[in-house]
Every structure is written in C-alpha cells, then in structure tokens.
Amino acid sequence: MGQQAPTGPELRPDRLSRQNLAGWLYSTPFLALFLTFMAFPIIATLLMSFTDFGLRNVTHPLDARFVGLDNYTALFGDPKFMKALFNTCYFVVLGVPLTIGSGLVAAVLLNSGIDRFRTFFRVGFYVPVVTAIVAVAVIWRFVLDPSEGLIAGLGAQLGFSTPDFLASKALAMPSLIVMAVWRNMGTAMVLFLAGLQAIPVEVREAAKLDGAGAFQEFRRITVPLLRPTMLYVAVMTTIGFLNVFEEPFVMTDGGPGDSTLTVSLHMYKEGFSFFHMGSASAMAYVLFTIVLAVTLLQFRLLKDKTR
C-alpha cells in the first residue's frame, strides 16, 4: 500500500515545514468557524443538558443549577417525550424504505430507455428537494384539504368521500410520511442515478452475453455494484428522517393530540417556546445517540459485502 501512495517530500508529515504551515493557515477560516459554530455549541449543549437552564438564565447564565442526569431520567418518564420518540420511529420505519425504494425505482427507470424525457423527469423529481418548505406546505395543504383539496375533489368526482387527513389521529402521520417521501426521493434518485451510471457498460454487456435477463441483471449486477451508493443513501436518508422537523412544524404543529409530535419538534417547543433549555439539550443528545447508533448499525449491515 505504501508504494501506491504518493510519497513526495511535500506530503511527509513534517510538522514544521513551510507547506504545513501554509496548510494550517489556509484551514484557519474553516477551523475558526467550525470551532465557533459547531464544536463550541456541541459542548455547550452537553454542559447545558446537565443543568436546569431556563428563561431567567438567559440573562443570568451562571445561576443555572447543575442537576446531573435529572434531565435525562425525566425524559424517559415523560409520556410526551416517549410519544415523540415513538412517532419519530414510525416516521423513519415507514418513510426511509419508501424514499429509498421510490428513489431507486425512479433512477432505474430514468437510466434505461426514455432518453427523450430524461432531463424533464430528472428535474421534475428533483424540484421538490429544492423547493422552500413554506411553498411545499401550501401545495400539500391544497392536496389534503378536506373540502376543496385535490384528493377531496377527485374523491367527489368518483363518488366517495375522503377523510380529513391532517385532522385525523390515525392519518395525520401517514400523510406527513407521504409528503416527506415526495420531498426526499429526488435526492435518493439523483444519487442512485450517479451510481447506476458509474456501472461500466462492459459488465452489463458481459452479463447479457452470458444470457442474463433484465431481472437477473438487476439482481446480480446492479444491486451489488450499487451497494456503496445504497449505504450512503440509506445513512443520509435515515439521519434526515430521524431529525424530522419541518413537515410536522409547518403542517400540523404536532397535532392532532400529539399524533405527529416528533423528537425534534418537541425539542424545539421545549427549548424555544418554553425555554426549558436544559431539558431540550438533553433531548438533543438522546436524539444524537440514536442517530449515531442507527448509523453504526447501517454501516455494519451494508458495508464491505461488495466484494
């Protein structure tokens, strides 16, 4: 391995060399920003999660009391937090496979045939990703509106009545999941497309010559060679869905009856509406731990089986 790596004198780990100094200088802006806006807040949040930091501490921060693990233990005794945790899992378990699945299907379809409309569809599927959430909310409110919405209108034409999606405890979360899948599949699709196009044509041709059908080619060639992309898409989508905030924030505010309250939304309300900063920080760390655990698990399950 050492022979393959470029080992010119300029890359030797010589700490005092001028090149090295230049490197540090060049990265100073990034490091300064990273330390100020990432590292410091992360540590501050951790510290705060062990205190009872509340509204009045905003102007008198040093009056906050150290409460040890109280915030954390309180969370697991709080039915509202447990509900938010459950809702978040519900969102992830349904939303992530749907996003990955629909993204993959769209990518495979776009990668084969229909050359003529490829750009059109590519843009079309990607537009939701880059649309502002407020505009998205307006569209989906129209789609889901019980009296004048798109679905209600279609239902009326076909002669059946549609439920009140966002006002129903059973249907509010599935509605948000559909919306989130719509918003996120474009990202998955673009990544899968890139992955698909990186698969050498020769491999496919060789498979065809060996007599592989379309399905066999997909199973034996596409899926294995797409595994690194799959890992990336799965990890990024899961992290995004675990952090779900915007959909319930703009559409339901967590209701009806906390049925769409997610951990991030709960954290936001506790922190910024009620100023329970200590408790909100603890929630942030619980969520972080979950994200970390799930990501590690995904790496273990999906990585290194390529060859």
**Both tokens assigned to 95:** 């939303």
Which candidate, 81, 88, 142, places its Cα nearest to that of 260?
88
Contact 96, 233 (CB under 8 A): no
**Residue of 45, 111, 295, 298 interacting with other proteins (CB under 8 A):** 45
| Closer residue to other proteins, CB minimum distance, 226 or 277 | 277
If one asks whether residue 256 binds other proteins (CB under 8 A), the answer comes out as yes
Part in contact with other proteins (CB under 8 A); list of ranges 117-125, 189-197, 199-207, 274-282: 274-282
- The span from the CA of 169 to the CA of 175, in Å, is 11
**Residue of 22, 33, 35, 58 interacting with other proteins (CB under 8 A):** 58
**Residue of 52, 70, 78, 164 interacting with other proteins (CB under 8 A):** 164
| Closer residue to other proteins, CB minimum distance, 21 or 292 | 292
**Residue of 245, 294, 295, 298 interacting with other proteins (CB under 8 A):** 245
**Residue of 53, 81, 182, 192 interacting with other proteins (CB under 8 A):** 53
Which candidate, 218, 235, 225, places its Cα nearest to that of 301?
235
Instruction: Name the minimum Å distance from CB 15 to other proteins.
Output: 31
**Residue of 52, 255, 295, 298 interacting with other proteins (CB under 8 A):** 255
**Residue of 9, 77, 273, 300 interacting with other proteins (CB under 8 A):** 273
**Residue of 141, 206, 223, 296 interacting with other proteins (CB under 8 A):** 141
Fill in the per-residue mask, 278 to 297: x = in contact with other proteins (CB under 8 A), - = not in contact.
Answer: --xx--x--xx---------
Instruction: Name the minimum Å distance from CB 191 to other proteins.
Output: 16
Rg of the chain (C-alpha set): 25
If one asks whether residue 66 binds other proteins (CB under 8 A), the answer comes out as no
| Closer residue to other proteins, CB minimum distance, 90 or 218 | 90
Count of residues of this chain found to bind other proteins when the rule CB under 8 A is applied: 55
If one asks whether residue 184 binds other proteins (CB under 8 A), the answer comes out as yes
- The span from the CA of 170 to the CA of 104, in Å, is 28
Contact 150, 143 (CB under 8 A): yes
Q: What residues form DSSP beta bridges with 51?
A: 66
Given the rule CB under 8 A, which residues bind other proteins?
A: 37-38, 40-42, 44-45, 48, 53, 55-61, 141, 145-148, 164, 166-168, 180, 184, 240-241, 243-246, 249, 251-253, 255-257, 264, 267-269, 271-275, 277, 280-281, 284, 287-288
